[in-house]
Amino acid sequence: MMPLSEKYIVKAFNADELAFEAGSRLSMNVVMVGAVSGYLPIPKETLLESIKALVPQKMVEVNLRAFEAGKQKVEES
């Protein structure tokens, strides 16, 4: 059986920790969106505008930080 890392791009990191550092563990899903954003056929600005439109106003900044944290983590590795 072929290891996943030979067939797919595999990145491992602690999304919960990044979400906590961004301001809320509830933003972990947005960390993951940021992490995969470079592989999606959706412009970064579209994703950020979607976050702003869909997230409660008081959590927008936390989620934007979470998105950037996930994106940066994948770009670093």
Confidence of residue 5 (pLDDT cuts 50, 70, 90): low
CA distance 73 to 59: 21
pLDDT at residue 9, rounded to an integer = 83
Domain ranges of the chain: 15-76
Write the DSSP string, 1-63: ---HHHHS------HHHHHHHHT-GGGHHHHHHHHHGGGSSS-HHHHHHHHHHHS-GGGHHHH
pLDDT digits (tens, 9 = 90+) for 7-57: 888 889 999 999 999 999 999 999 999 999 999 999 999 999 999 999 999
Say how many C-beta atoms besides its own lie within 10 A of residue 6's C-beta. Answer: 7
pLDDT at residue 7, rounded to an integer = 80
pLDDT digits (tens, 9 = 90+) for 56-70: 999 999 999 999 999
